[in-house]
Amino acid sequence: MLKKIFSAIVAGLKAIGRLVGGVVTAPFRALDAAFGGGSDVPPLPAATPETEDVPAPSKTEDLTKVYEQVALAVMQWCVESLTADAPASMPANMPRKIAEWLPRLTREECFALGCAEYAAVYAHIRSSELLTGVRSVRPLERVEWPPEPRPAPGTGGLISDPSDEASSTFEVGSGVL
């Protein structure tokens, strides 16, 4: 609906522009004809309503590069979200359909997308080959990320709790870390 309104406004502005252009250039055309001016350039063909609204033929653009950039942006967003333990802010150049899909993914889906090969993410976005455990690009219901479970103190893990005395003790030669 909004597209039709803008199209009508643009068509009206074009018509006004042609009318004003014709009125402004009329004296110059009359002088040119009176003094035997150059007729080297043929007059422009009159635009009809049928021809002015037809879109110009566009070049066939290879969208592979665009999908590659989007796939890399999706992977980066997933890694940033996993690092922040919450959906990250959306890049401004992300396509709308993907920008609506990404924040509704679960942590496990983000992990799968962030760890997948770039070609697999590219295929998933295009819906040609879906990744296992990741829902296709479509409207999804919003999900809340529950807090990441933390290991109990003293049980180990990649990062030990500094308040845990057993993990902060280091004795040379005793083998205790």
The answer to whether residue 58 is domain-embedded is no
- pLDDT tens-place string over residues 27-60: 877 777 777 665 566 666 665 555 454 455 444 4
Q: For residues 35 and 68, give the distance between their C-alpha atoms in angstroms, rounded to a whole number.
A: 61
Q: What is the pLDDT of residue 43?
A: 61
pTM of the model: 0.49
The position carrying tokens 């109990």 is: 152
Pair (26, 74) in one structural domain: no
56: which 2 tokens? 């110009």
Q: Name residues of the chain where pLDDT drops below 70.
A: 36-62, 145-177
Inside any domain, residue 25: yes
The count of other CB atoms within 10 Å of the CB of residue 76 is: 13
Number of separate domains in the chain: 2
Domain span at 12: 1-35
